[in-house]
Structure 1
Amino acid sequence: MKMTRRYFLKSAGLLSLYCGLSPILADIEDVKVTRNKTLVVIFLRGGMDGLNFIVPYNDPHYYQLRNSLAIPKSGENAALDLDGFFGLHPKAASLAPFFAEGSAVALHAVGYSQNTRSHFEEQDVWETGVIGNTVNSDGWLNRHLLTSEGHGPIRAISIGDNLPRILRGKAPAYSIRGLDNLAIPKELQESQMMAALESAYSSPTDKNNAAYQLSQAGKETLDSIEILQKVANNPYNPKVTYPNTPLGKKLQQTAQLIKANIGIEVVEIDYGGWDTHRQQGGVNGRYANMVQNLSQSISSFAKDLQSKLDDVLVITISDFGRTARENGTRGTDHGWANCMFVMGGGVKKQKKPIIANWPGLAPEQLYQGRDLKHTIDFRDVLAEVVGTHLGNNNLQKILPQHQFKKVDFLN
C-alpha cells in the first residue's frame, strides 16, 4: 500500500497540520510571552444580528425599526436589563449571571470604516486583521503564534472540518473534527506501517532542503496525534451537562483539552447559520434558538472549567452586523457595526457591563441611513486580547497598518 503524507493526515484521526507562508512577517524574532493563558474564539459565521443579542431597548428608534423582530422592553419575554439602556436577549438568560458578577462584558458598535457587507471579504478581514489586500495574508492568530513562544507542544487547534484562515500561516496549527474522531484506522495500527511512517519522516541532514521541511511537519503531526489521542482516550467527566449540539460538544472538548494541560493557547470554533435574511424571529424562532444554543453552550463551558476560567478568555466575532431596520421578509440584511461578547477571568470589572460609545438609531444617526455606525475598531479589540490576555505586544506585526486605541476591557 502506497502511503502518502496526504493520505496519512486525512486518515489518522482527521487531524491536519498547516505550515504555510507568512508574507507579512519575514525575518522576525520570536518573543517569549508564555503567560499560560488560553483564548477561545467562536466565529459566528453569516453575520450575527447584534442588535437583537445586546438589545438597545432604551433607544426609542429600535422599536420603530423593528416591528416584528424587536425584543420587548417590558412584560413577558422582555430584554434582560444589563445597564438601564441595553438588555440581553431573553434566550441568552444563561449568560446573565456572568454579566452580573463581572466576568462577562459586551462591546457594541464594533466594526471598521471599509466594511463591504460581503461575507467572503469581511470574513477575510476579521480572520487576517488586514484591510484591503487579503489575498496573500495569513491569519492574525497565526501571526501571534509566530511572534511568540508557547508553553506546550500543541498551541493552536481548530475544532471543525478545515483549518480556518485565522489560524493559517507559517506557525504550526492543527485542525480536528473532534476528539472522538481521533482513532487511527486499523491498517495504520500495525507496527510495520507506523514504523514505515516514522522512517519516512526521519529528518534529512540538510535543513535547507525542502525534504527537511516536510519531514519536520510530518514528525510534528505524528507527535501531535499521539498527544491528542492520549487526551481522547482518557475518560472525561464534565462538571455540567452541555447542550447536545455540535457547538456544545465542541466546547466540551475544548474544556477537556484545556484541563489536559498540554499547552493549548488558542482554540477556534465555527458556529454558522447567522445569515438571517428571512423569517429571523424575535423572542422565538430560528435566531432565538441559535442565541439559546450559543448562550447555554458558553455557560456550560464556563461552569465546567471552574477555577481554570481565570486563565481563559472567550470572544465571539462575526462577519458584520445586520441592518437596523427589518426587511419585508421579517429578516435583516447585511449591515455594518455589531457587538462582541467577551467572557473570562481576565475581563475587567466595569461599572456597566456594556462598553459602547452609542451612535444611536435615529435616521440621521445611521450609516448610509440603514446601519448601526461603528465607534470601536475591531482591531483595537483584538489587539487588547493579544496584548493583554496572551501577553504578546508585537501588535504592529500581528495587526499591521493600524494605529491602536485602548478599549480597556481586560485586566
Structure 2
Amino acid sequence: MTSRRGFIKAGGLALFGIGLGGIPSFLADAVAGTTTPGLFKKKKIMVCIFQRGAMDGLMAVTPFTDQYLKAARPGLFMTAAQGGKNKPLIDLDGKFGLHPSMSAFEPMFREKRMAIVHGIGSPNNTRSHFDAQDYMESGTPFNKGTASGWLNRAVGLLGHDAATPLQAVSLTSSLPRSFYGDNSAVAIKNLADFNIQLKGNQAGANMASKSFEDLYDQTSSGLLKNTGKESFDAVKMLQKTDTKNYKPENNAVYPATALGNALKQIAQLIKMDVGMEVAFAESGGWDTHFNQGTETGIFARNVNDLSNSIMAFWTDMGRYQDEVTVMTMTEFGRTVAQNGTGGTDHGRASCNFILGNGVSGGMVHGLVNPLAKENLEDGRDLAVTTDFRAVFSEVADKHLGIHNDKVLFPDWVGKQIGVMRGV
C-alpha cells in the first residue's frame, strides 16, 4: 500500500482557487468527518518571497558612487544626487542607494529592522531560469537529483507536538519546488475560493468534479484518513473563517496585485492561529531584457509592488511582528552593462531583503567590489560573493531555531554572515 510520505511526495495535494460551489459532495462529507485541530501555540513564522525572472540587484540597490557602473549603463544608471530632473535614489549609507520606487522600505532600514544582502547568488553559474530556480529551491546547487526542497526540509527539522495541515503553505496555484518532499505542505491560491488538485496528475488540469471523483476512487480509505485528512482538515479550518471579508489591521492597504493578495492571505492565516510556520509567495516579471526603465517603467512598477506589498503585510502584522521574518530571493541577477534594447540580460549576483525584529538591519551586508571588468564574473557580471545558503541557513537557524545545516543544505560547508542578531 502506498505510504503516507510517498503519497505526499508524489502527489502533493494543493488547495487553490476554483470556487466553493464546485466542491463535490463526497469532499464535503470527507471534510465533515474530520476533527479540526484546536488552536496551536504561537510559533515563529518565516515568509519567503521568490522573485521569479531574476531581479536586477544593481538597480534595486545601486552602488551609485561606482563610475564603472555609470559608464556601463548610460541609459539606466541612477544617482542619489538631489536637484536633478530625475527622481534620485534613496541614499542608504553614502555608497548604496535604494530605488525610489522602494521608498516604503526606507523607514524599516532606518529603524534597523531591514537588512539587505548584496552580491548574493548561487555558486552554480547557470544562467538558465529553470535550472537556477530549481537549484535555489532545492538548496543543492550542484545536485539536480535532490527530491526535496529546502523549505520542506526546514519544516521537517522544526518538530511538531501536534501536526497541522497548514504548517507549510504556499499562496500559489501549485506547490513550489521549495516545498517538495516528505513533510506535508499545501498550495492555496485563494483562501475564500478554493478546491483541491493533485499535483502532477494529468487529470488535475481538468477541474471538473469528475476529476475529484477519480481521485477519491483511486485513493484507499486508509490513505484518505491519513494523507488526505491533512488537506481535508485544511479545508475545514478555512471554511470556519470569513476570509472574503478580511479587514487588515493598522490601516494597512495591500496593493491589488497577485503578491499583495498572497501576502494578505498569509496575514489571515497567521492571525487564524492554524500552526503555520513557513509561508511562500511569488512575484513575477523580473526578466527585464527590454525597456527596463529607471524611475518609471517595468522595473519601477515591480519594485514598487514588492516593497508596498511587504510593508502592507508588515503593518498588518502589528502585534505579531516579533514572530515573523520576511525574506526575498531571486535566482540570479542581471548583467552590469545594459543591452541594446534598454534592458539587462541574465547575470550572476543580485541582492535580497530581510525584514524582521531579529534582523541585523540598517546596513547592506555582503561585498560588492568596484565594477571594473577585471572584478566581474566572466568579465560581465556582478560576482557572487555570498552563497545564498549562508543567508537562508542563518535566517532559518536564528528565526526558526533550526540548527542542522547538514540536513537543511547538505552540500554547504560555508559560514553565515551575521545578517541576523542572536536568538
TM over 0.5: yes
- Cross-structure match for 1:166: 178
Give SS of 1:299's match.
helix
2:97 maps to 1:87 = yes
Query: Against the structure 1 CA distance between its residues 357 and 237, is the aligned structure 2 distance closer, same or farther, given a 3 Å change threshold?
Result: same
**Structure 1: gaps spanning 5 or more residues:** 16-33, 204-211
Aligned counterpart for 1:304 among listed residues 299, 316, 319: 316
The TM-score, its normalising length taken from structure 2, stands at 0.81
Aligned counterpart for 1:61 among listed residues 64, 68, 81: 68
Instruction: Pick which of 235-244 and 257-266 moved more.
Output: 235-244
**Equivalent pair of 1:182/1:228 in contact (CA under 8 Å):** no
Residues 355-380 of structure 1, C-alpha deviation per residue, up to 9 Å, x if partnerless?
12222211111111100011111111
- Cross-structure match for 1:259: 271
Aligned counterpart for 1:245 among listed residues 251, 257, 269: 257
2:396 maps to 1:389 = no
The aligned runs of 1:74-153 (5 Å cut-off) are 74-75=81-82, 76-150=86-160, 153=164
**Equivalent pair of 2:12/2:186 in contact (CA under 8 Å):** no
Residues 265-324 of structure 1, C-alpha deviation per residue, up to 9 Å, x if partnerless?
111111111111111111111111111111111111111111211111111111100000
Distance across 2 between alignment mates of 1:7 and 1:86: 43
CA displacement at 1:404 relative to structure 2: 2.7
**Equivalent pair of 1:35/1:391 in contact (CA under 8 Å):** no
- Cross-structure match for 2:415: 405
- Cross-structure match for 2:30: none
CA displacement at 1:61 relative to structure 2: 1.4
Residues 236-264 of structure 1, C-alpha deviation per residue, up to 9 Å, x if partnerless?
21021111111111111111111111111
- Cross-structure match for 2:194: 182
**Structure 2: gaps spanning 5 or more residues:** 1-10, 24-40, 197-207
Query: Against the structure 1 CA distance between its residues 329 and 146, is the aligned structure 2 distance closer, same or farther, given a 3 Å change threshold?
Result: same
Residues 313-365 of structure 1, C-alpha deviation per residue, up to 9 Å, x if partnerless?
1111111000000001110000001101110122124xx52112222211111
CA displacement at 1:9 relative to structure 2: 6.7
- Cross-structure match for 1:371: 381
Residues 129-177 of structure 1, C-alpha deviation per residue, up to 9 Å, x if partnerless?
0022223421001011122313661210111110001001010000011
Distance across 2 between alignment mates of 1:135 and 1:232: 42
Aligned counterpart for 2:57 among listed residues 50, 53, 60: 50
- Cross-structure match for 1:25: none
Query: Against the structure 1 CA distance between its residues 88 and 183, is the aligned structure 2 distance closer, same or farther, given a 3 Å change threshold?
Result: same
Amino acid at match of 2:267: A
**Equivalent pair of 1:316/1:342 in contact (CA under 8 Å):** yes
2:359 maps to 1:356 = no
2:43 maps to 1:36 = yes
- Moved segments of 4+, more than 6 Å: 5-12
Give SS of 1:301's match.
helix
Give SS of 2:391's match.
helix
Distance across 2 between alignment mates of 1:183 and 1:170: 22
CA displacement at 1:117 relative to structure 2: 0.7
Distance across 2 between alignment mates of 1:6 and 1:162: 9
Give SS of 1:283's match.
coil
Residues 185-237 of structure 1, C-alpha deviation per residue, up to 9 Å, x if partnerless?
xx99xxxx99xx79x7653xxxxxxxx4x541111211111112223448421
Amino acid at match of 1:219: K
CA displacement at 1:386 relative to structure 2: 1.5
Residues 112-142 of structure 1, C-alpha deviation per residue, up to 9 Å, x if partnerless?
3322111111001110000222234210010
**Equivalent pair of 2:119/2:386 in contact (CA under 8 Å):** yes
Aligned counterpart for 2:229 among listed residues 206, 216, 219: 219
Instruction: Pick which of 6-15 and 392-401 moved more.
Output: 6-15
Distance across 2 between alignment mates of 1:145 and 1:252: 22
Residues 87-113 of structure 1, C-alpha deviation per residue, up to 9 Å, x if partnerless?
100000011000010110100001133
Distance across 2 between alignment mates of 1:345 and 1:7: 33
Distance across 1 between alignment mates of 2:246 and 2:155: 28
The two structures, once aligned, show a CA RMSD in angstroms of 2.7
Percent identity between the two aligned chains: 38
- Cross-structure match for 2:33: none
The TM-score, its normalising length taken from structure 1, stands at 0.84
Distance across 2 between alignment mates of 1:355 and 1:71: 21
**Equivalent pair of 1:277/1:329 in contact (CA under 8 Å):** yes
**Equivalent pair of 2:121/2:331 in contact (CA under 8 Å):** no
Distance across 2 between alignment mates of 1:299 and 1:7: 31
How many residue pairs get aligned? The number is 370
Amino acid at match of 1:138: S
